[in-house]
A and B are shown apart, each in its own frame.
Chain A
Amino acid sequence: MLIAPGQRLINSHKPATDFGTVGGPVRNAAGKLVMLTCYHCVFMDKMKWDEFTPNPIYAGVSIAQNGVFNEAAAVERCFRDDDVDAAMIHAQPGNTIDPSIPIFGKTNGLIALSDDDRGTWLRKYGATTQDTYGQFLGFTPMLGFRYETETSIHYLHNLIRIGTPTGKPFSEKGDSGSFVLNGANQVAGIIVMGDGTYSYAIQATLLESRLTLQFQI
């Protein structure tokens, strides 16, 4: 099976309705091509995470192809703190990774957005809303959400806020994990949450440092 950005993905032990998006390709610490998505997209409360290295029994990830989920990948490493919620998944034997994002093509490293970049046009390809375009509106200091079965709220800091001039959402439920790109296909971040008006993404620079990965493929 070909694992491509924009496909629906889910922890194999979770209901198929609670899916996220295969974000895009990155290189792990060993230089191997893996896919990046959000931690909460592959999170499973029974995973018994040990320092974010998943229990192999619950690390299986199913990818949707033609509306049918098949286990084709596994969580390799994940990370969650005050800034980051992300996981790297690798292809299981017999499956391959397609690094090209539909419509946009291959990524071209990362871009560190700053306040000076407000107004920059961004785009993403997600499993729910496919290709959408929006503008970088600034950084959101702190927003949070509850993980499945958890009662406390996990807050993330310094999120990229994206809005659209039309008011149509840049991302919706299920788009989490999608790569947010600028016009030069540089990765600005990955979608982590949204509220119908704005979408929020984790900064690519933070992902690179926390997960020891490279966006330059």
Chain B
Amino acid sequence: MSPDALNLLYTIVTILFILSMISERISNLIKLKTNHLKLKRVSPSGEKDRERGIMWLAIISGCIVALFSGADFFTLIEKGKLVTYADLIKEKDLSFLIPKTLIGIFLSGVFISLGSKFWHDMLDIVLQVANLKKSLAEQQAQAVAPDKSIDVLKNKLVQKTETVLPKLKQLKDFAGYDVFIIDGILTLHLKFFNQLPGAEEQKWYKDYFSGDNVEFNLTNLHR
């Protein structure tokens, strides 16, 4: 699922969640004012009738909320927004009266009647998917992207070496230097043809590069 599709789904579920809460309040209000819906029946068939009545009340309430809020399901899934009647009337666009829009409002009403708990759970699932997707993307980015911090450290070590390069070049048979990164550890290799510098000179450079790994290597570089 693309990020755009996930955002659209999040918007739709959020809208339906809010509308279902409004619808629930309305249907509860009506239920409390209507005796045959308010009180539990003793007989199972009577109770079934009451439940059916509550269900229809929820659907009708959902449809009314959908109608007044402009929750055309087709517009919702297409644009992720509600129909604004005021704007449409201002623009003399009466397309909201066509059967498709009315069917869309009815569908939204049915979905709204599923209840706020249902849409709250749905919102949780969408958020979990979004978080999972985000964390997977972050993990992938970390796996693909090279460790930039080690390159920064390498550049610092190169700069430190460049500072003493004129002195290094005066050493007999100095062939150059390289920085190796092995298992995330930097090692500076000072390379020499034929012979390594004396112990005192090596000590000077080890002191200079204290805190860094430094090796003195003989090399048989050929061209």
Also in contact, A141 and B223, with CB within 8 A (given A116-B146, A153-B174, A153-B175): no
Q: What is the CB-to-nearest-CB distance from A160 to chain B, in angstroms, rounded to a whole number?
A: 12
Q: Verify if A213 is at the interface (C-beta below 8 Å from B).
A: no
A176 contact set on B, CB distance < 8 A: 223
* Contact of A195 (CB < 8 Å), options: B161, B162, B174, B221: B221
In the docked arrangement, what's the CA distance between A8 and B136, Å? 52
| B178–A193 touching, CB < 8 Å | no
Q: Verify if B96 is at the interface (C-beta below 8 Å from A).
A: no
B151 contact set on A, CB distance < 8 A: 115
Q: Verify if B46 is at the interface (C-beta below 8 Å from A).
A: no
Q: Interface 1/0s, chain A 129-153, versus B by CB < 8 A?
A: 0000000001011111100000001
| B220–A143 touching, CB < 8 Å | no
Closest 8 CB pairs of A and B: A143-B176, A142-B176, A173-B222, A140-B178, A193-B223, A145-B223, A195-B221, A141-B158
Q: Verify if A56 is at the interface (C-beta below 8 Å from B).
A: no
B145 contact set on A, CB distance < 8 A: 116
Q: Verify if B114 is at the interface (C-beta below 8 Å from A).
A: no
| A155–B223 touching, CB < 8 Å | no
Q: Verify if B85 is at the interface (C-beta below 8 Å from A).
A: no
B169 contact set on A, CB distance < 8 A: 155
Considering the complex, give the chain B residue whose CB is closest to the CB of A145: B223
In the docked arrangement, what's the CA distance between A138 and B169, Å? 23
Q: Verify if A40 is at the interface (C-beta below 8 Å from B).
A: yes
What is the interface size of chain B, counting residues whose CB is below 8 A from a CB of the partner? Answer: 22
Considering the complex, give the chain A residue whose CB is closest to the CB of B151: A115
Q: Verify if B219 is at the interface (C-beta below 8 Å from A).
A: yes
B223 contact set on A, CB distance < 8 A: 38, 40, 145, 173, 176, 192-193
In the docked arrangement, what's the CA distance between A116 and B145, Å? 7
| B176–A155 touching, CB < 8 Å | yes
User: Restricting to B146-203, which residues have a CB under 8 Å from any CB of A?
Assistant: 146, 151, 158, 161-162, 165, 169, 174-179, 181, 191, 193
| B221–A145 touching, CB < 8 Å | yes
* Contact of B179 (CB < 8 Å), options: A141, A145, A192: A141
In the docked arrangement, what's the CA distance between A176 and B219, Å? 18
Also in contact, A193 and B222, with CB within 8 A (given A140-B178, A142-B177, A143-B175): yes
User: Restricting to A176-198, which residues have a CB under 8 Å from any CB of B?
Assistant: 176, 192-196
In the docked arrangement, what's the CA distance between A4 and B84, Å? 73
| B146–A118 touching, CB < 8 Å | yes
* Contact of B191 (CB < 8 Å), options: A116, A143, A196: A143
A155 contact set on B, CB distance < 8 A: 169, 176
A40 contact set on B, CB distance < 8 A: 223
